[in-house]
A and B are shown apart, each in its own frame.
Chain A
Amino acid sequence: MPGIYLFSEDVALAKQLLTPALDLKKSLNQPVTVLTVSEPDAKELSTLGADKVVILQSPNKWVDGFAEAIYKLFNDAKASILLVGGTLRGKGIASYVAAKLDAGMVTDATVLKVVDGGLLATRVLYAGLALCEEQVALPAVLTIHARTFLAPSASAVPSAIETITVEADTRVTVGTVTATGDTGVDITAAQKLVAVGRAFRKKEDLKLAEDLAAALKAELACTRGVAEDEHWLPIARYVGISGQTVKPDLYLAVGLSGQVQHMVGCRGSKVIVAINTDEHAPIFESADYGIVGDLYEVLPLLTAALRK
């Protein structure tokens, strides 16, 4: 039986995947099956319009090891499309299944439509410099990044829930798992962000940005360099191609040049403001408003003006 399958170990993302899955169901007239690894998640997911929810049960602590089970279920059903939540883990699982199926895969698809002989998906190239339309033959595997789609609203008919026991993948042993990042701070939920770059000379100077953020009721975000090279701010605050993608009402970029790898993470912002000493920095091309000036002079003035 053909079908549309979806999987994400992140339940919020799994819900979002149901939106494109239910859309594809309309075009292809194939049932939607949700695969999950947890019983509570299955209950949440069963109210959103899927035909079936399948719980994969295994003593396996290594979530990535579910890839073989997902492949087998998909292949036995001769299903046509697998949507996977585009977490790092999800991308690994998706690539594994695609390789076993000898199938094409689109990473971080943003738009999907059914065309003759497959799916047409849009995604970014060169770290966001360009958009590419890619046509992929069925069966196809696609990953979708968090918050690309909104979760669908509740459906009147609850999905059937089934539990399947799968073999554990014992090749990899998981030791310590540590939660990372700023627990409690989710910059993707903030309406305003003040983003800092390498023009700050030392960590203590970020106080200037913190004060500005407080005056604007904004959260702090940063570039890859500030998080990964300087370790001044946690990774969870880093915006860019391999960091967070944000769409706030205001993105105020201070002392960052605006390289494409950073901008791809914030270009959905409603208003972008830039403060930079270099008039020719690419950030000004991406900005609605900007000040050419030294952040050490501009920030205290701006903070004071906003406090009034």
Chain B
Amino acid sequence: MSTTPVGETLHAFPGGLELRHNKQVACQQPPRPLPLLETYYVPITDRQGRRLQVMVDQGQIVKRGQALTEARNDFDIVSHAPTSGRIGPIVGRDAVWPPGSQTDCLELQTDGLDESIEATPLSDWLHQDRDSLIDALRDHGLAGLGGAVFPSAAKLRGDWDSIHTLILNGAECEPWIACDEMLMRSRAGDVVRGGVVLARASGARDLVIAIEDQMGEVGQRLAQAIESCDIDFPMRLIRVNTIYPEGGERQLIQALTGQEVPFDGLPQDLGVLCHNVATAVAALEAVEGGRALTERVVTVTGPGISRPQNVIARLGTPLSELLAAAGGLKAKAGRLILGGPMSGTALPSDQMPVTKGTNCLLVLTEAEVQRSQPVMPCINCGECVRVCPASLLPQQLFKLIEGQRLEAAAKLNLYDCIECGCCAQVCPSHIPLVDWYRHGKAERRLEQLDQRRAALAKRRHEAREARLEQQRVEREARREQRRQKLAQAGQAKDEIKAAIERAKQKKRGDQ
């Protein structure tokens, strides 16, 4: 365990890239709430795509903040009605991943009143115990708003006495995403107070808010907010170098503590816990305001959109509405991406709803999507090795996956790849390395799945064979018993005769 406070001296993580930032285009005005829509589509599946337990019936009238799904454990994320209205049918909407699939959504037909259920704030939250804080966060649908949507309750719960520092991750390192930056600018005070909520819920004794050193105004606002915060809790603002992927949880922790999170471990092992700044604001809303998480800031940006901006979108808003609110697509728009340009996902349509993980909609132009040069063979230059933040050997992994030697790739820690895209960015041969890693990871998972299936089938087949054999033996035994009885049929007759004789003699003797 480190003895120096987290972030007192800054360290570097290996590799990384300095990228040209394009955040400012979307930061001209504060985030603007979208007008109320007629229909919202609230996803009701969990992160694995399994259906959650729905708590409302079709036709039921719900109010904003009313729970639509139930949390069976800390890993289920409760969904709430984004506004008041009538529950419609369950419909399939395009899913972000895997491409071409659909996800089940609950349709909500708005009544236009936008009434909320009664707020349920936690009284005197500063002195509540950890479990009641975490319960409140879970019941209000808290999940990691940085993009991974990890259930906050599951992250916070647990016997982590060793956690000394809560890190609020404001290092939004993707070049176009600006939702966290705008949130920190417009609600710096809430970010700080929300950080204290999460720190209390995790049992941490220290709060560190980490931002990039090039976020000029954000730094000032946060510093002021810390200055004027009325809660007595140790908190510090740390400016880390602006280098991609600084905002990755493991990279940020390494920059702040100088320690690497073990590949098979968690940040908790180092005594720290990392949460996104937007999650902190949502935590404050949940605990102090008693309001469920029903909206988030989304950056709608890119060279292919007319008026780049940040919007406050209710969860369940179709992405097409966000594009429309930002002035619509330009004629040269070529690709829609969820997330940033480095690690985002290309979307097949604009029909999927806003979820808790929707941080940015990036519209690129046709020209940017086109390949300028053909893909060439790997020349072993080692550039990818130099920029890899996970200290992997990207060129080796590529060659092993290309040659279908997935086992060997896994031994070279393929699964530690965070798919940040640095290696593909610097590759002079323009090899789409991350695509290869995604392919390789999935192929090996399927290979292992096949092995597990085969093992199960083998076990069940053997069990069946053994059972059939046992039944055969038992049947044989029964048959044998019957045969013996039959063979002894004559003897039985004699026995009966003898018994009758005995009875007769007895009778005679009596007379």
Co-assembled chains A and B = no
Binding site for B on A (CB under 8 A): none
Binding site for A on B (CB under 8 A): none
